[in-house]
Structure 1
Amino acid sequence: MRIVAGLYGGRRLLAPKGDATRPTSDRVREALFSILGPLDGLRVLDLFAGSGALGLEALSRGAAHVTFVDDANAAVRAIEANLEALGVPRERVAVQRRDARAVVRAARAARHEYDLVLLDPPYRLAPELGRELSPALAELIAADGRIVCESDRRAPLGLELPLTDERRYGDTLIRIHEPE
């Protein structure tokens, strides 16, 4: 696994040990970030971050700040190791070992806004998360912001928000939402 393009392009990433994390493939990340286009100056929230590959790709492509969220110790250790190996300035990132739903509720209450939210939950959780996260995510997204969901095509993460793009890469389904 590696960063596909940008400032850290070509650099290798560590993934958490075990099978609890399923990193997004280089091919899917490359396609996704081509669809998203320029990310210069964006504030990004990477939920269920795992190795941090999606958020790190966003940083590499110009995002101003990324908040990484995962509740697994192994994932947080991998994110921290990747940040260290890449030499990412600490003021550009925040890493939280917390449940993504709790972070979304807290960010909503604090009226935080993000330009891009990346959601890549464990596939088994995807079907139940959509209804729960949709109202809060709609309030977290800045004007012209987007929410990207990755899930298994057989059990999609169904956010109740306007869908603007949907792509399938093998068994992986990418959906892009742009709340009104």
Structure 2
Amino acid sequence: MRIISGRARGKQLASVQGMEIRPTSDRVREALFSSLASRFGSFEGLEILDLFAGTGALGLEALSRGATRACFVDSGRQAQKLIQTNSVKCAMAQHCQLIALPVEHALGKIRGRFDLIFLDPPYRKGLIDTTLSLLSQRDLLKPDGLICAEEDKTTEVPQILGRYQRIDLKSYGSTTLHLFAHTPTKETP
């Protein structure tokens, strides 16, 4: 597993074997970031929230491409060590914040809003629905921001969750990426 593009391009990321952490494959990450680049134009100045961060690969890829800061949330000790190791390896530790709590507790402690939120929970546990609902309650996504949720392709994810609506859906092997944005509001004349 490596950083695909940007100033840390080619840096190998520390990872682990086993079921506790399931990193997003290079192939899926490359497709995701290509799609995000076409939507954002540039990652320059973006603020990132990486939930269920695992190795930190998604947030670090965004930082490598020009994002300003990334907040990583993961309650697993192994994941926390990987995020710290990988942020140092990529020379981006000064742009990283690690919150070592379960996501549902961490969201209440996070201040500010984010341009891009990565959501990569363990598959088939219903965590996309509950986490998007919490994100909606806390209003953590900037008005033009995006949420990228990764789930097993056999799992149904609702079209609308809280204030967010799915705007795109792409499958790669057994993985489906769901892109959510704010639900459009009707303007009154």
Partner of 1:35: 35
Q: Does 1:174 align with 2:172?
A: no
In structure 1, C-alpha distance between the alignment counterparts of 2:86 and 2:132, rounded to whole Å: 30
Q: Does 1:133 align with 2:131?
A: yes
Partner of 1:95: 98
Give the C-alpha shift of residue 16 in structure 1. 3.6
Tell me the SS of whatever aligns to 1:176.
strand
Note the 1:40-59 alignment, pairs <5 A. Answer: 40-59=44-63
* Change in CA separation of 1:87 and 1:128 when aligned onto 2, cut-off 3 Å: closer
2:166 partner letter: L
In structure 1, C-alpha distance between the alignment counterparts of 2:97 and 2:56, rounded to whole Å: 11
Tell me the SS of whatever aligns to 1:94.
strand
Unaligned runs of 5+ in 2: 184-189
Note the 1:56-135 alignment, pairs <5 A. Answer: 56-90=60-94, 92-107=95-110, 110=111, 112-125=112-125, 127-130=126-129, 132-135=130-133
Give the C-alpha shift of residue 106 in structure 1. 2.7
The CA RMSD measured in Å over matched residues stands at 1.5
Higher helix share: 1
Q: Is the 8 A contact 1:16 1:75 kept in 2?
A: no
TM norm structure 1 = 0.90
Deviation sequence 1:73-130 (CA, Å, 0-9, x none) = 000001111111111141x1101111011112333xx4x21111000001132x2440
Deviation sequence 1:42-81 (CA, Å, 0-9, x none) = 1100000000010110101111000011000000001111
Tell me the SS of whatever aligns to 1:144.
strand
Provide the identity percentage: 38
In structure 2, C-alpha distance between the alignment counterparts of 1:136 and 1:163, rounded to whole Å: 16
TM norm structure 2 = 0.86
Stretch moving more, 148-157 or 93-102: 148-157
Give the C-alpha shift of residue 18 in structure 1. 3.1
* Change in CA separation of 1:49 and 1:128 when aligned onto 2, cut-off 3 Å: closer
Tell me the SS of whatever aligns to 1:142.
strand
In structure 2, C-alpha distance between the alignment counterparts of 1:8 and 1:173, rounded to whole Å: 26
Unaligned runs of 5+ in 1: none
Stretch moving more, 81-90 or 132-141: 132-141
Stretch moving more, 116-125 or 9-18: 9-18
Instruction: Give the number of the structure whose alpha-carbon radius of gyration is greater.
Output: 2
